[in-house]
Amino acid sequence: MAERADAAGIKKAAALIRAGGVVAFPTETVYGLGADGLDPKACARVFEIKGRPRFDPLILHERSAVRARRLFSRVPAAAARLMKKFWPGPLTLVLPKAAVVPDIVTAGLKTVAVRVPANPAALALIKAAGRPIAAPSANRFGRLSPTTAAHVKKQLGRGPDLILDGGKTAIGVESTIITFKRGRPMLLRPGGLPLEEIEKIAGPAAAAGKSVGKPLAPGCLKKHYAPKAKLRILGPGRAGKPGTRAAYLAFSKRPAGKYAAVAVLSRTGDLREAAANLFGALHRLENSGARVIYAEQVPPHGLGRAIMDRLRRAAA
Ligand code: TXA
Ligand code: MG
């Protein structure tokens, strides 16, 4: 069932969340699959609908920095500056959790991921629900992320109790995830807020490196965001092989040759526009029935870092 994200739709969605239901809703990054973040049973349904392993923790969404802070037990000074500057916005902070946060949300970790989304429908939903909303991206585990209500429907079908349709999301890639180590910021996932912006406020980021054994963000697996077709990243100056079973993801210029489908991320070569169009383009190329998708590289700074991260994982 889908409803427009207007006052009536939001009211219905909030009632469902309060009753332990699961609702897909728009944020400024991608659509989330939301449930009452303080209700372990409701959160368990999110894992089931998504087909997500229980070791992969969820993000809690709050409607203000003041409320979000209550979900943490300790906040370093530089993290407080980031909240002040970038919330609401596409930034998730991972910090020591407060006692109210259920273990299922954090997958047993002592830290919790929290953000305040910059989307009026999302904020209104959190407010009407009256509690933090736990939400991963509203896709099947490991698959392409959703930037429209139709993308959610394609992958999750009748899984969620309601899909709130707020149109295409503005930023189009997930939030940037930052944690702190001895007062220094560390990048766990590149995303909608460029690392350069974060470093201006919080100082230079420590290299995330590879921790021994388990990954730092448990969900940042090598293979992720995968379309059904095989994705091949083209090295500089390399061309794809045109054909009826091949699709092409271009950064700014159409490729030579005939493909089953072609998507251009930004005609002006604008990385923000390219990020906003990324998942929509991949969904479309996937729907073309192509067996291989050739993808061009984009400049690896600003939002390009998040785009290249998603392409590399999709190709893994
Ligand atoms: O933009 C976004 O962040 C979207 C929208 C819906 O808010 N959400 C999203 O959630 O991308 P999800 O679950 O698809 O990705 C969250 C990532 C996962 O890789 C998870 O492992 C990581 O955050 N994460 C969550 N809690 C963590 C924690 N305590 N420590 C380290 N990583 C954590
Ligand atoms: Mg995800």
Domains in the chain, please, with CATH? 2-207 (3.90.870.10), 230-315 (3.40.50.11030)
Question: In which order are the strands placed within the sheet that holds 292-295?
Answer: 230-233, 292-295, 243-250, 259-264
Strands (DSSP E) found in 157-258: 162-165, 176-181, 184-189, 230-233, 243-250
Ligand with minimal distance to 136 CA: 1
CA 120 – CA 100 distance, rounded (Å): 26
Distances (CA, A) of 269 to 277, 292, 299: 12, 24, 10
Which ligand 1 atom is nearest residue 139's CA?
14
Distances (CA, A) of 35 to 38, 129, 152, 212: 9, 10, 16, 32
Class of residue 117 by CB neighbours under 10 A (exposed 0-12, middle 13-18, buried 19+):
buried
Q: Are 282 and 219 in contact (CB under 8 A)?
A: no
Q: Are 36 and 42 in contact (CB under 8 A)?
A: yes
Q: What's the 219 CA to ligand 1 centre distance in angstroms?
A: 7
pLDDT in tens, the chain (316 residues): 899 999 999 999 999 999 999 999 999 999 999 999 999 999 999 999 999 999 999 999 999 999 999 999 999 999 999 999 999 999 999 999 999 999 999 999 999 999 999 999 999 999 999 999 999 999 999 999 999 999 999 999 999 999 999 999 999 999 999 999 989 999 999 999 999 999 999 999 987 654 444 446 666 667 788 888 999 999 988 999 999 999 999 999 999 999 999 999 999 999 999 999 999 999 999 999 999 999 999 999 999 999 999 999 999 9
The pLDDT, as a whole number, for residue 298 is 97
The pLDDT, as a whole number, for residue 194 is 97
User: Which residues have C-beta atoms less than 6 Å from ligand 1?
Assistant: 27, 29-30, 32, 56-59, 92, 94, 106, 109, 111-113, 117, 135-137, 174-175, 177, 188, 217-220
The pLDDT, as a whole number, for residue 226 is 83
